[in-house]
Structure 1
Amino acid sequence: MRRLLNTLYVTTQGAYLRKESETVVVEVEKEIRLRLPLLNLGGIICFGNVLCSPFLLGACAEAGIGVSFLTEFGRHLADVVGAPSGSVLLRRTQYRRADDPAGSAALARAFVAGKIANARHVLRRAAREKATNAMEVEAAADALGHRLRALPAATTLDVIRGIEGEAAAQYFSVLPHLITVQREAFAFGDRNRRPPLDPVNALLSYLYTLLRFDAAGALATHGLDPAVGFLHRDRPGRASLALDLMEEFRAPFADRLALTMINRQQVQPHHFRTTETGAVLLTEDGRKEVLTAWQKRKQEEVEHPFLGEKLPIGLLLHAQALLLARHLRGDLDAYPPFEWR
């Protein structure tokens, strides 16, 4: 199993990254702020006005370290990656499966099943603990159970996406009940993005961006093409398979982290700002708080239900990418989605 490596998040505007021997050096106004061995890095994410030397980009590509460039507030711009790893035969199998409606539907059902099962678990746990309207939250969890039981009969992508959309709407309708502190400042009506219109949506969007980066890196590491998905179809510039894989992890890890940070007051209203267009965005201090919490969360261990062993959360995406690759190779009859317990 792959080692849990660090991701370097660079948010300081005007930072310059360069290679020095076998290390990456971060400079701000010609002052060295950080020096890290390339050997310990799994990826680099640059937010906003951050520059990288060509020598560093080349070294990262050769070492399999993905470098992503985002806007200051988290919108994805571009990735720099090396040559594809793994067998070309695996990727050819992936492409053929993506072109097969029945094969795509089977994998899409698995991704959506994992997503709905984990969302239901989040709601049931909240109903048992401290949700503000436990009965309504429990009812929503029951409704997700009905959606989950309807999935096996869904044979087309349109029907599967319809079930997923209904489940997501049900889930987000009760998400406000899981916010027990700072309820007025973090009022949540519905899921919105591009741009997010309230602090909760801004926080969720930022965490989903981090999750997408980790999913794409895990897939590429195990020889799969992050751009060719099954539930999410091909679109230029979109990592569709990364979006497929991250569906299982949105509720138990990204959403729960957002709720934890709000309820523990790790993020507060001053960590957000509203632009002239009405978009709500994290401030630089807010982004740093989220990145610190995200890295700590990835170190926590949970038991993988299929593999039967404890893994750091940061390696779960790698475990699922490996299982997906094994399924496509024919070593597993079906892809087992990760279900949080």
Structure 2
Amino acid sequence: MAKLYLSQPGLKVNLNSGKFIVSLRGETLHTVPELYVEGIVVMAPVQVTYAVTASVLERGGTITYLARNGDVQGILGLDVQQGRQVLLQAAAHLDPAKRLQVARGMLQRKLQAQRQLLLRYNKSLHSDELTEAAERLQMYADRLTACTSVKAMLGIEGTASKDYYDCFPLLLKNSDYTWEGRNRRPPRDPVNSMLSFAYGLVERAVQLEVMHAGLTCGIGFLHGVNDYKNGFVYDVMESFRTLAAERTVFRCINRRIFSPDDFDRVGEACYLSSDARKRFIIQFSDCAREKGFYGTNLSEAIKKELLLIRKDFGDDSFNLNEEILYEKEVETHENA
């Protein structure tokens, strides 16, 4: 099964004799068997015919719309919320102790992922600054245990994130890129442009797994329920920002996948060009398929993350052996 990414303005996708036909101004560019496509990702002004849309949705697939900066604008299809799962999720959100437990686990896994990325790159950089930053991230993760409110944990996470992002100039020092801090909406430099686009791809992957699990995207534990329509998706994304998105960005930088000409400037904004987005998606997809997520691929890792979270909800309807295996894999990876 495959996903069809549409990143070039003017593309048209129609259905003919059991095949999706991708064309541009009347010229056929690609032909894909209908049953081979499990989802479509739209990233530009394109035309997807009614027949194509119906085919994807009838087979349980999805059509995702991404903004140019990578933000998920919406997803058609796959609304399979399960009453029991949503009730458990809502009850855990309303229970202060359970909400703290869920939020703490998410943030601890996020900080451990950031710590591991720094240590991985420091094997070749041999930087005392990176070593010290990794030690501080471990200290911040440990401090979360004593927090009695989500607000207090988010304060620690904010300090930890600043320490983490402050390490980026060291990670980029042998490249053609610079880092002056995180900026978005719009991103204003190539690194932030790639990060924003990658985060959008991670958001899509997480949202699909959340819906597959029968959970609701809107009841968050870190991001709450008032200000974020997909608060729970953003919660689950936390560790995968590093494991998938940042990992892909640094891979592209280290392999010199892009040049300055691969970024479009629109006022202060900086975006990957249409052709560059295609190449970035290839790199992200390769990364997602690899068993670099505690011994499994991105999709399976998200599923296991959701099992950990459901355990904190008090859900006992799944195989604990699989969840325990994930905990052991995380522990092994963190101590490597």
Residues 282, 215 of structure 1: alpha-carbon distance in 2 compared, 3 angstrom cutoff: same
> Residue 92 of structure 1 aligns to a residue in which SS?
helix
The 8 Å contact of residues 14 and 22 in structure 2, kept in 1 or not, is answered as yes
Q: 2:79 touches 2:211 (CA, 8 Å); kept in 1?
A: no
Which residue of 158, 173, 176 corresponds with 2:169? 176
- 2:3/2:40 contact within 8 Å kept: yes
**Cα-Cα RMSD:** 2.5
Alpha carbons 2:243, 2:293 under 8 Å: kept: no
Are residue 125 (structure 1) and residue 125 (structure 2) matched? no
Deviation at 1:39, TM superposition (A): 4.0
TM-score, length-scaled by structure 1 = 0.87
1-structure distance, mates of 2:20, 2:49: 10
8 Å CA contact retained: 1:11, 1:72: no
Instruction: Please state how far the C-alpha of 1:236 moved relative to its aligned partner.
Output: 6.6
CA offset at residue 66 of structure 1? 1.8
Q: Is the 8 A contact 1:182 1:263 kept in 2?
A: yes
Moved over 6 A (4+): 333-338
Query: Aligned residue for 2:74?
Result: 78
CA offset digits 1:15-68 (Å, max 9, x no partner): 122344654332222333223345444432101202222333233233221211
Contact 2:101-2:312 within 8 A present in 1 as well: no
* TM-aligned CA deviation for residue 326 of structure 1: 5.4
CA drift of 1:217 comes to 0.6
Aligned residue runs from structure 1 range 141-290, under 5 A: 141-183=134-176, 186-235=177-226, 238-276=229-267, 278-290=268-280
Work out whether 1:91 is the aligned partner of 2:81.
Answer: no
Deviations 1:184-221 (A, max 9, x none): xx110111111112111111011000000000011111
Partners of 1:72 and 1:252 in 2: how far apart? 22
Unaligned 5+ segments in structure 2 are: none
1:69 and 2:62 correspond: no
Conserved 8 A contact 1:14-1:28 = yes
The amino acid of 1:294's aligned partner reads: F
Structure with the bigger percentage of helix: 2
Q: Secondary structure at the match of 1:143?
A: helix
**C-alpha contact 1:262 1:268 (8 A) present in aligned 2:** no
Is the aligned partner of 1:60 residue 2:50? no
Query: 1:200, 1:42 → 2: CA distance?
Result: 30
Aligned partner letter, 2:205: D
What is the CA–CA distance in structure 2 between the aligned matches of 1:290 and 1:245, rounded to whole Å?
23
8 Å Cα contact 1:43-1:67 kept in structure 2: yes
Q: Percent identity?
A: 25
Shift of 1:303: 6.5
Q: Name 2:305's counterpart in structure 1.
A: 320
Partner of 1:294: 284
Query: For the residues of structure 2 that align with 1:297 and 1:178, how far apart are their CA atoms?
Result: 19
2:109 paired with 1:114: yes
- Counterpart position of 1:307: none
Q: Could you tell me the TM-score, scaled by structure 2's length? A: 0.88
Letter in 1 for 2:189: D
Aligned pair count reads: 326
**For 1:175 and 1:8, how far apart are their aligned partners in 2?**
33
**Paired AA for residue 237 in structure 2:** M
5+ residue gaps, structure 1, are 305-309
Q: In structure 2, what is the Cα distance between the partners aligned to 1:303 and 1:47? A: 27
1:30 equivalent among 20, 26, 32: 26
Give the Cα–Cα distance (whole angstroms) in 1 for the partners of residues 120 and 18 of structure 2: 46
- Code of the aligned partner of 1:94: Q
Q: Which amino acid aligns with 1:101?
A: P
Instruction: Tell me how far apart the structure 2 counterparts of residues 323 and 55 of structure 1 sit (CA, whole Å).
Output: 39
Q: How far off is 1:327 after superposition?
A: 5.0
* 8 Å CA contact 2:4, 2:37 repeated in 1: yes
